[in-house]
Amino acid sequence: MDGQRPRPMYVDYKDVELLKKLINRHGKIVGRRKTGCSSVSQHAVTQAVKRARFMGLLPFKGD
Stretch 37-45: mean pLDDT, rounded? 88
**Confidence class for position 1, pLDDT limits 50, 70, 90:** very low
Domain boundaries, the chain: 6-63
CATH 3.20.20.70 describes domain 6-63: no
Q: How confident is the model at residue 35 (pLDDT cuts 50, 70, 90)?
A: confident
Q: What secondary structure, in 3-state letters, does 17-62 show? A: HHHHHCECCCCCECCHHHHCCCHHHHHHHHHHHHHHHHHCCCCCCC
Catalogue the E-assigned strands of the chain.
none
Q: Does the model's pTM come out above 0.95?
A: no
Residue 2 confidence (pLDDT): 54
